[in-house]
């Protein structure tokens, strides 16, 4: 298939004759997880008893290790080795210009330099975890501290354009803004946010016949395998990497960290398996986070509410050597029509841990400003916020001029408003009471880009008619196992129970892994291709086998449904055909390579959020009473897993609005709330009625199956809807997230409410 135009033809998935696609199938690996039989990386049983490593984090934000003494630690019970920069094994250095998430070397303990608080500066390995922890406390480390810059607010005024990323201009924004009768110019701030995955970053490593075997918690198998091989200076095929079950990723397990490198090195040194895991507190400082932002939004409109100008400039930060920054302005380039536009980013480098991707990077932060700005503009115009958005719906991509592959944003908004009862919203804040509570409604749009990347898959069919799918894909809790099984069953034409899925192994056909909302579409498209190749092979086998009732028929006319191969009124069981004609089974490969004309369309997923909140005017407490999200995200593979992803994102959006945020101690560059006791996230009592509606959609420009992704769409815009509802409830317009009770009270008091 060399063009997206080839994807419009009917196929087994789009016809869905067995009814498996879209069905709310229970999770393939669910029984293993609920019974504790699905081992995460740290729980895998190695071939011999393992040793346990504990990493020691730096206690300063910037400087160098001036003295280190491991003598006492080495003499402690059970200790097998103690490493610092002085005696750690040699490793390869990365190229200086490598982009974020490039599969390059990431050496551990490489020098005496300390780049941020929490950077691992020593490792102790012992026979038990307890002995390793005790010995780690005996390592003596002294530092020479250098001046560090850790205050984002103080550094933001000095930000400059990121390397190679100029502002994007269309028309003359400044002139349009000055001439507009209605204008808005405000700034929103979002804090550093932490992934807090349920499963910590962890690795188990051992060596077999000169090859390094690692079980690690990673989102991207091939990237991590290649990066580790480059760090160790060995061939990629000499690293056998497995990541079969991942307890949450959210972008934070896209990069790999010192646990992987040090476990591999220590295992090679000791000649036995080694386990290393980040502690919960060390995860906050030793792995990546979503960086803080300051977003200036300027909107210009005529009396009719049509935008004449739009500008969004985001200031964010990264670490000293970082290649990532939060592209929080990007989404705005495709959301609303405006002839005069200015968008871009500014960047400062701080002495903080790595900045990195976090669920819906860009949209999750950026929509917290623009979608609130649209509400503020609507109020100044005397328009309903929904109506303002509808009036600024573009016919083509506002920036590129490309046609949309499919865009149902207005349908999401209209149908969501009707289902939610938006017409009952009072436009004036503070007018609706329920006992002591002030009640308000808010809404926001949602948008998230769609991507398709190269991938491969292998399908094997055995004599019992069972299809085994093998891919270097991962399941980070999103349902990869399940949807791959559904695609295989429907494509090949076998019952779902006759499909086996094996993923998370570097020895399997490569995929880019999970992340960016591209996982299901990318890995799934490769699986679809493999399934189609297997169907063809089965058809040729049956029609070419003299012993088959299909013999002599046209292979193109063969159908396979429910494990039965047929042409017209002639049929036989698939298992019988294979047992007779191919007792060794059949194995095929499939791949997806996005054609160049995919770039001819603007491709996104869309949604609309509606929220009702109650605010206590005495305490400032906010309660989310009900949330509705209506989404258009291509053909839905599994309504149960898709709904779980969407509602999970919506809840995370509530967290962004009301809870999420890491506070930096200016003395040490450390986070003062580095655990789940102090880093606030929603609990069950914080979330009321919750529903996600998925519109019927098939985007034939996206891939052969017309599917997209939903993993990040639910979080985009939902926090803005909460903020808008708070304003409607009590009149408190807060542009500094999270919206805590004290901020609500201060805003209400400032307005005499």
Cβ proximity of 352 and 341 under 8 Å: no
Distance of CA 351 to the CA centre of its chain: 25
Point out which residues pair with 565 in neighbouring strands. 560, 572
Q: What DSSP line would sit under 626-656, residue for residue? A: EEEEEEE-BB-SBHHHHHHHHHHHHHHHHHH
Query: What is the longest distance spanned by two Cα atoms in the chain?
Result: 89
* Cα torsion 118, 124, 130, 135: sign: negative
Cβ proximity of 490 and 13 under 8 Å: yes
In angstroms, the CA 23 to CA 703 distance is 20
The pairing of strands 307-319 and 340-350 is parallel
Q: Which tokens is 244 given?
A: 């079969």
Catalytic, out of 376, 379, 612, 712: 712
Q: Is 338 exposed, middle or buried (0-12, 13-18, 19+ CB in 10 A)?
A: buried
Could you give the 3-state DSSP secondary structure of residue 114? strand
* Cα torsion 722, 723, 727, 732: sign: positive
Cβ proximity of 452 and 707 under 8 Å: no
In angstroms, the CA 269 to CA 461 distance is 42
In angstroms, the CA 255 to CA 274 distance is 21
Q: Answer whether the bond into residue 738 is a cis peptide, omega within 30°.
A: yes
Active site residue 29: no
CB atoms within 10 A of CB 560: 22
CB atoms within 10 A of CB 718: 33
- Quote the DSSP letter at residue 354: P
Q: What is the chain's alpha carbon radius of gyration, rounded to the nearest angstrom? A: 27
Cβ proximity of 307 and 337 under 8 Å: yes
H helices present in 137-257, as ranges: 152-155, 173-179, 221-232
Let me know how long the chain is.
753
In angstroms, the CA 232 to CA 253 distance is 20
Give the CB-side neighbour count of residue 76, counting CA atoms within 13 A. Answer: 24
- Quote the DSSP letter at residue 622: E
Catalytic residues: 712
């Amino acid at each position: 298939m060399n063009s997206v135009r080839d994807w419009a033809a009917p196929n087994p998935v789009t016809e869905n004759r067995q009814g498996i696609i879209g069905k709310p199938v229970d999770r393939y690996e669910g029984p293993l997880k609920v019974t504790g039989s699905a081992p995460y990386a740290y729980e895998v049983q190695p071939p011999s008893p393992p040793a346990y490593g504990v990493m020691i984090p730096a206690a300063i934000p910037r400087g160098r290790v001036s003295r280190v003494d491991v003598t006492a630690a080495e003499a402690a019970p059970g200790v097998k080795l103690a490493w610092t920069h002085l005696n750690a094994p040699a490793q390869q250095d990365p190229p200086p210009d490598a982009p974020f998430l490039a599969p390059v070397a990431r050496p551990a303990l490489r020098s005496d330099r300390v780049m941020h608080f929490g950077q691992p500066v020593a490792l102790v390995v012992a026979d038990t975890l307890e002995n390793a922890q005790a010995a780690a406390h005996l390592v003596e480390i002294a530092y020479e501290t250098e001046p560090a810059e850790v205050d984002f607010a103080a550094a933001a005024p000095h930000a400059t354009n990121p390397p190679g990323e100029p502002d994007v201009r269309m028309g003359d924004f400044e002139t349009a803004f000055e001439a507009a009768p209605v204008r808005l110019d405000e700034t929103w701030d979002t804090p550093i946010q932490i992934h807090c995955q349920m499963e910590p970053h962890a690795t188990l490593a051992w060596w077999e016949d000169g090859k390094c075997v690692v079980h690690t918690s990673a989102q991207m198998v091939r990237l991590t395998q290649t990066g580790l091989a480059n760090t160790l200076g060995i061939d990629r095929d000499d690293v056998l990497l497995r990541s079969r079950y991942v307890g949450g990723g959210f972008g934070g397990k896209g990069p790999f960290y010192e646990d992987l490198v040090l476990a591999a090195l220590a295992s090679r040194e000791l000649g036995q398996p080694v386990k290393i895991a980040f502690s919960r507190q060390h995860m906050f400082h030793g792995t990546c986070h979503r960086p803080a932002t300051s977003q200036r939004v300027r909107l210009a409109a005529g009396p009719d509410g049509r935008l004449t100008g739009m500008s969004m400039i985001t200031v964010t930060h990264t670490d000293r050597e970082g290649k990532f920054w939060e592209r929080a302005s990007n989404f705005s380039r495709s959301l609303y029509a405006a002839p005069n536009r200015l968008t871009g980013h500014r960047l400062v480098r701080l002495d903080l841990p790595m900045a990195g991707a976090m669920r819906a990077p860009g949209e999750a932060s950026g929509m917290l400003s623009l979608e609130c700005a649209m509400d503020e503009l609507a109020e100044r115009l005397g328009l309903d916020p929904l109506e303002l958005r509808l009036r600024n719906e573009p016919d083509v991509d506002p920036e590129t001029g490309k046609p949309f592959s499919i865009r149902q944003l207005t349908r999401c908004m209209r149908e969501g408003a009707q289902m939610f009862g938006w017409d009952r919203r009072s436009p004036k804040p503070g007018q609706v009471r329920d006992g002591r509570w002030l009640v308000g409604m808010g809404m926001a749009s949602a948008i998230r880009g769609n991507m398709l990347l190269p991938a491969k898959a292998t399908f094997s069919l055995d004599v019992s008619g069972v299809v085994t799918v093998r891919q270097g894909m991962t399941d980070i809790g999103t349902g990869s196992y399940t949807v791959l099984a559904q695609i295989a069953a429907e494509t090949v034409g076998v019952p779902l129970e006759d499909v086996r899925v094996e993923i998370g192994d570097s020895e399997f056909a490569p995929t880019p892994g999970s992340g960016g909302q591209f996982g299901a579409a990318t890995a799934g498209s490769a699986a679809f291709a493999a399934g189609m190749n297997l169907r063809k092979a089965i058809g040729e086998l049956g029609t070419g086998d003299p012993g088959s009732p299909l013999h002599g028929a046209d292979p193109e006319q063969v159908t396979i449904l429910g494990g039965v191969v047929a042409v017209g009124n002639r049929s036989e069981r698939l298992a019988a055909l294979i047992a007779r004609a191919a007792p060794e089974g059949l194995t095929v490969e499939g791949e997806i390579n996005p054609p160049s004309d995919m770039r001819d369309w603007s491709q996104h997923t869309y949604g609309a959020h509606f929220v009702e909140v109650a605010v206590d005017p005495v305490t400032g407490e906010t309660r989310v009473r009900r949330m509705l999200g209506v989404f258009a995200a291509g053909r839905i593979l599994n309504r149960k897993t898709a709904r779980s992803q969407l509602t999970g994102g919506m809840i995370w959006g509530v967290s962004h609005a009301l809870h999420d945020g890491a506070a930096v101690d200016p003395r040490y560059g450390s986070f003062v709330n580095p655990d789940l006791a102090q880093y606030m996230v929603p609990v069950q009592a914080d979330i009321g009625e919750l529903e996600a509606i998925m519109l019927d959609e098939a985007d034939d420009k996206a891939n052969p199956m017309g599917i997209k992704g939903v993993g990040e769409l639910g979080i985009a815009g939902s926090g803005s809807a909460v903020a808008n509802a708070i304003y409607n409830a009590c009149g408190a317009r807060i542009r500094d997230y999270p919206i805590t009770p004290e901020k609500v009270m201060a805003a209400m008091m400032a307005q005499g409410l």
